[in-house]
Amino acid sequence: SAVISQKPSRDICQRGTSLTIQCQVDSQVTMMFWYRQQPGQSLTLIATANQGSEATYESGFVIDKFPISRPNLTFSTLTVSNMSPEDSSIYLCSVDLTGAKETQYFGPGTRLLVL
Amino acid sequence: AQTVTQSQPEMSVQEAETVTLSCTYDTSESNYYLFWYKQPPSRQMILVIRQEAYKQQNATENRFSVNFQKAAKSFSLKISDSQLGDTAMYFCALIMDSNYQLIWGAGTKLIIKP
């Protein structure tokens, strides 16, 4: 497995502002993923972040709203831009340790409330 | 399109009982992986068990086991000797060999009563 940390663990933000969420892994991984979990819902993949290339966004998510950085093999950030109350969710990062699609391990999540 | 269906929104059992959570899925691919994840109130998503579609033997992990019926596209999770710490949301998920996107079920809220 892997030890994955996220910062912040939670935040309350004002409408129109931006928040950057950090994801740190204790080992080098090729593939990192960002998910959104709206209240009472399952997870929705936002984007896949590979080191050295642009993030790949899923339908319904755009780079201007959710810019992602992946500067090295152990770290990634997700920014939620120009926030609205509809962005209130838990945001989770995950990693595929082997690249073999066997298992994704998740960070503890960031709980975001937008007022 | 691939789908994962969990038909039980909520279940509750007494501590020490056995409980089975249901999951059905749909995919046209032959190579895929199935997972059960647990999300307690702390919201940490924890891997419970995984199953490779090409393996006929059902996966087991201590008190957790699965009943994988490939032809029926069914993947149920059995929790034996349930404990209070098993209280959580349980999500069934599917990933195809052709991509990295996890397809998630809606989840089952499991409550273990003392």
Minimum CA–CA partner of B4 in chain A: A42
Closest to A22 measured CA to CA, from A37, A13, A14, A32: A32
Q: Please give the pLDDT value at position A108.
A: 94
Residues of chain A with pLDDT under 70: 99-102
SS3 B51: strand
Closest CA to B101 of A3, A30, A94, A4: A94
pLDDT of residue A99: 66
pLDDT at A43: 93
Residue B49 to chain A, least CA–CA distance (Å):
10
Closest residue by Cα to residue A94 from B57, B38, B44: B44
In the prediction, which pLDDT does A17 show?
A: 97
**Within an 8 Å CB–CB cutoff, is residue B57 touching chain A?**
no
- pLDDT for position A2: 81
Q: What is the pLDDT of residue A52?
A: 79
Instruction: Determine, for residues A31 and B104 on separate chains, whether the beta-carbon distance falls below 8 Å.
Output: no
Cross-strand pairs, A12: A113
What does the alpha-carbon distance between residue B67 and residue A57 come to, in Å, rounded to a whole number? 34
Percentage of chain B modeled with pLDDT above 70: 100
Residues of chain B with pLDDT below 70 are none
Chain A residues lying within 8 Å of B91, measured CB to CB? 42-43
Specify the pLDDT at position B13: 97
Torsion region of B98: left, alpha or beta (phi above 0 gives left; psi -120 to 50 gives alpha): alpha
A53 touches chain B (CB under 8 A): no
- Per-residue model confidence (pLDDT) at position A102: 67
pLDDT of residue B42: 81
